[in-house]
Amino acid sequence: MKLAKNIMVCVTQQKTCERLIRRGAELRDSYDGELFVIHVAQEGWHFLGKSKEGDALEYLFEQSKSCGANLTVLRSNDVIATLKEQVEKNGIDIIVMGESCEDNEGHSIIGSLRKRLPKNIEFEIVPAKLKQKVV
């Protein structure tokens, strides 16, 4: 019998995050757990007034729904603390995130989140571009 694991997918307001949702759904199916798709927006940031970002979130909502998950959009000035709260609230075992760029001091959101969570939380980092197989 498989041990059920809950999966949290962290998305931004970009349609390319669809690949993260698909990977989260694959993991959810493998581990027979639940899938949570989360987007944290900065307080005061009006993404729904910007058609491109609003369209992207609507698209990601539809992708989440088609994978049997809900897209939760939260507002916070502390993205890391908010993600940590969601991990604890939803009993998350695996976090799916896109490959992130480090800032000029070598910090990334992935590294910052990893430091704030227990060591037993697994991270699945999806590359920005899938590498082509050479035949």
Give me the percent of the chain exceeding a pLDDT of 90.
61
Could you tell me the sign of the dihedral formed by the alpha carbons of 60, 23, 36, 96, in that order? Answer: negative
From residue 6, alpha-carbon distances to 17, 24, 82, 87, 91 in Å are 19, 10, 17, 9, 7
- Give the pLDDT score at 104: 43
> Residue 127 burial (CB < 10 Å; 0-12/13-18/19+)?
exposed
Closest CA to 124 of 11, 13, 27, 5: 27
From residue 64, alpha-carbon distances to 24, 59, 81, 85, 126 in Å are 10, 9, 23, 21, 17
Domain spans of the chain, in order of start: 6-126
64 contact partners, CB below 8 Å, separation of at least 6 = 21, 35, 37, 70, 71
Domain 6-126 coded CATH 1.10.10.10: no
Question: Tens of pLDDT along 44-99?
Answer: 665 555 566 678 888 889 999 999 998 999 999 999 999 999 999 999 999 999 98
3-state secondary structure of 117: coil
Taking a C-beta distance cutoff of 8 angstroms, is the pair 27, 96 a contact? Answer: yes
Entry pTM: 0.85
CA quadruple 69, 85, 104, 60: dihedral, nearest 10: 20
- Give the pLDDT score at 56: 81
Question: Tens of pLDDT along 95-114?
Answer: 999 987 554 445 688 999 99
Question: Across all residues in the chain, what is the average pLDDT?
Answer: 85
Q: Which amino acid type is present at position 123?
A: F
